[in-house]
Structure 1
Amino acid sequence: MVRASDVILILVAILFPPAAAAIVTGCSCDLLINILLTILGYIPGHIHAFWLIYKKMQAEERYGQGGFVYAGNGQYQALYQNNAPAQAPYYGATEEKPEKY
């Protein structure tokens, strides 16, 4: 189902594709890719922006509005799993306590 916010997002993508990419993904690598594609040619920037909007619409259908978070590369993850908040990534850190010497 297409929402009014999605229609406005499509109109923004028609006028200026990087703005639509920024709205969908925030400050991410996809925004940089969209800016470069728009500089190389206006049509490739449009295609990328429309693809990002399409992936967002798929995530809304799958997880519900606001029930997902952007994970990068056009992928979305559920914000909650089994009614519990998703665990934040550790980025290589562990929660182990150091051994006492």
Structure 2
Amino acid sequence: MELLRIIISVLIPPIGAFLKVGFGLQFWVNLLLTLLGYFPGLVHVIWLLSRK
């Protein structure tokens, strides 16, 4: 499941954030960052996935 979450996160960062935290604040932050640019959203979702 973790590998699938990583692949989805690279392709569509907000979906990866949703799979990790649900419709919480971090999802909306990631959605906004992704709309502003793909790279900030990608960095944010990698940060979300790497923290415990």
Give the TM-score category using the shorter length.
over 0.9
1:41 equivalent in alignment to 2:37: yes
Higher strand share goes to which structure? 1
Tell me the amino acid that sits aligned with residue 19 of structure 2. Answer: I
Question: Please, what TM-score do these two structures have when normalized by structure 2?
Answer: 0.93
Aligned residues: 52
Higher helix share goes to which structure? 2
Q: Identify unmatched segments of 5+ residues in structure 1.
A: 60-101
RMSD after superposition = 0.7
1:29 equivalent in alignment to 2:31: no
Deviation at 1:6, TM superposition (A): 1.5
Q: Identify unmatched segments of 5+ residues in structure 2.
A: none
Moved over 4 A (4+): none
Question: Please, what TM-score do these two structures have when normalized by structure 1?
Answer: 0.50
- The higher radius of gyration belongs to 1
- Classify the secondary structure of the residue corresponding to 2:6: helix
Q: Percent identity?
A: 35
